């Protein structure tokens, strides 16, 4: 798994290249083949950008799922302790009534 800075750097590079390709694509005086080539380059860069964003999203989702499992386990422990404390409090209340 890449680090956040690696993803940010790669995404920034793709977006900068896309901006350049889009800027060149609409300049006057380009031949049709150059325009087509630049359009193909723009499409390829957009696809790469989408794939990278999707990959980042998948990794974030996996991290969230992993952390939620830890939270679920912690919630079980808290519920168990709460139940135990509740029983202790009832027992103390019963003793208090008897005395």
Q: What is the rounded average pLDDT of the residues 15-38?
A: 90
47-78 pLDDT, tens digit per residue, is 999 999 999 898 888 888 888 888 888 888 99
* Distance from C-alpha of 59 to C-alpha of 50, rounded to nearest angstrom: 14
> Which two structure tokens, joined as six digits, stand for 94?
């019963």
* Distance from C-alpha of 99 to C-alpha of 85, rounded to nearest angstrom: 21
How high is the pLDDT of residue 71? 84
How high is the pLDDT of residue 1? 58
For the cut 80, the answer to whether the pLDDT of residue 4 exceeds it is no
90-99 pLDDT, tens digit per residue, is 888 887 777 7
């Amino acid at each position: 798994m890449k680090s956040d800075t690696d993803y940010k750097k790669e995404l920034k590079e793709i977006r900068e290249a896309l901006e350049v390709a889009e800027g060149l694509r609409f300049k006057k005086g380009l031949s049709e083949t150059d325009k087509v080539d630049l359009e193909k380059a723009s499409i390829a860069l957009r696809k790469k950008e989408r794939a990278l964003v999707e990959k980042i999203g998948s990794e974030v989702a996996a991290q969230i799922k992993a952390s939620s499992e830890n939270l679920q386990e912690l919630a079980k422990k808290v519920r168990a302790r709460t139940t135990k404390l509740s029983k202790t409090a009832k027992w103390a209340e019963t003793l208090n009534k008897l005395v």
